[in-house]
Amino acid sequence: MYIRHTLATLTLALTLHAAPQDDQYVLGPDSQVRADVPQGKVTQMPAWKDSKIFPGTSRDWWIYVPAQYSKDKPAAVMVFCDGGGFVKADGQFRAPVVFDNLIAKGEMPVTIGIFIQPGTFPTSNPNDKARSNRSFEYDSLGDLYARFLLEEILPAVAKDYNLTSNPDERAICGNSSGGICAFTVAWEKPDAFRKVVSHIGSFTNIRGGHVYPALIRKTDKKPIKVFLQDGKNDLDNQFGNWPLANQDMAAALKFAGYDYQFVLGEGTHNGKHGAAMLPDTLRWLWQAGTK
């Protein structure tokens, strides 16, 4: 019951908070189901309860397998933080629909999508609100979440599907704290993940993430490709100022010579802009010829 509640939370939170500045961003044709396009299959996996990296947590997750997938050829991989909000066919992002349309046009590779919720600590009473481990997992710097993917989730998916081990064909996407989490995964493990999509990313001091621009400027360039979206009306609170932090990230990526793209719109702390752009974002992310 809680699990369903969480899923509703994610999608509703993003839509309910929509301000007038966000309403200009609407889904385009590549985010609509098309009868002439083969549809992949979304499967809800049994809740992941045996994490060694995040002991005691339980989380929902889903796998999207495109219709074009063949076990003879390794599929590209894209992970979505707060995956419950991305995976819904009628949700804000409709990632599986976008995947169907882009894969059919050859604008992105045959890609298995892995949509993962943050962990919660369930109790014996289903009426209790389970404590969320989301901030600990997403906002913390360090390699814990990357290791969770590499040591736990990817091997589990690889039991049933032929997944690429080419880091250039592994991407990770998230919103807000999920956005900084996506960046942290690639930053920590560039030999495993090299493509990042962050919408309204929390590169602020929730748990120290405000240091990334400084780190990017003073660290060897990593072979990662980064897409950042934010809105001028995004959050300004005790953790920091989101538009400034994202501009700071973009300036640092530019300074250090990264292959990156930054879109600063008019929106608030809302996924609408990122969702409207998702097809273009994915085309850019997956196009060949990265630096």
Partner 1 sequence: MSPRLLLATLALPLLGSAQDTSLHDYLIDGEGWKEAASGYAFTDGLCTDSTGNLFFTDVKAGKGIYKIDVTTGKTDLFLDNLPGISGLQIGPDGRFYACHNKEQRIIAITLKGEVEVLLTNMKCNDLVVSKKGHLYFTETPTQTIHLITADKKHIAADQGHILKPNGITLSSDERTLVASEHGGKHVWTWQILDDGTLTAGAPFMTMWLPVGKETASGDGATTESKGRYFITTELGIQVFDTAGRLAGIISKPDPMGKVVSCEFAGKDHDLLFVAAGDKIFSRRLKVTGYFGK
**Residue numbers of the site for partner 1 (CB under 8 A)?**
6, 8-10, 12-14, 16-17, 54-57, 82, 121, 123-124, 128-129, 131-136, 139-140, 176, 206-208, 235, 237-239, 269
Rounded to a whole number of angstroms, the minimum distance from the CB of residue 200 to partner 1 is: 9
Residue (74 or 267) nearer to partner 1, CB: 267
Instruction: Give the list of residues 6+ apart from residue 246 with CB closer than 8 angstroms, or none.
Output: 200, 201, 203, 228, 229, 230, 234, 262, 264
Cβ contacts of residue 104 below 8 Å, gap of 6+?
A: 37, 38, 68
* Smallest distance from partner 1 to CB 111, Å: 25
> What is the token pair recorded at 24?
């200009």
Beta carbon nearer to partner 1, 38 or 56: 56
Q: How far is the CB of 261 from partner 1 (least distance, A)?
A: 24
Looking at the Cβ atoms of 38 and 208, the one nearer to partner 1 is: 208
Cα 107 to Cα 271: distance, rounded to the nearest angstrom: 23
User: Helices 95-104 and 272-286, interaxial angle, to 10°?
Assistant: 30
- The torsion of the CA quartet 189, 192, 196, 202, rounded to 10 degrees, works out to -30
Find the shortest distance in angstroms from Cβ 24 to partner 1. Answer: 20
Is the Cβ of residue 170 or residue 269 nearer to partner 1 in the bound state? 269
The CB-of-221 to partner 1 minimum distance in angstroms stands at 28
Nearest Cα neighbor of 113 from 176, 62, 156 is 62
Closest CA to 43 of 156, 172, 125, 200: 156
Between 140 and 281, name the residue whose CB sits nearer to partner 1.
140
Find residue 62's DSSP bridge partners. 44, 115
Paired strand residues for 108 = none
- Return phi, psi of residue 245, to 5°: -65, -40
Nearer to partner 1, 58 or 281 (CB): 58
Nearest approach in angstroms of CB 123 to partner 1 is: 5
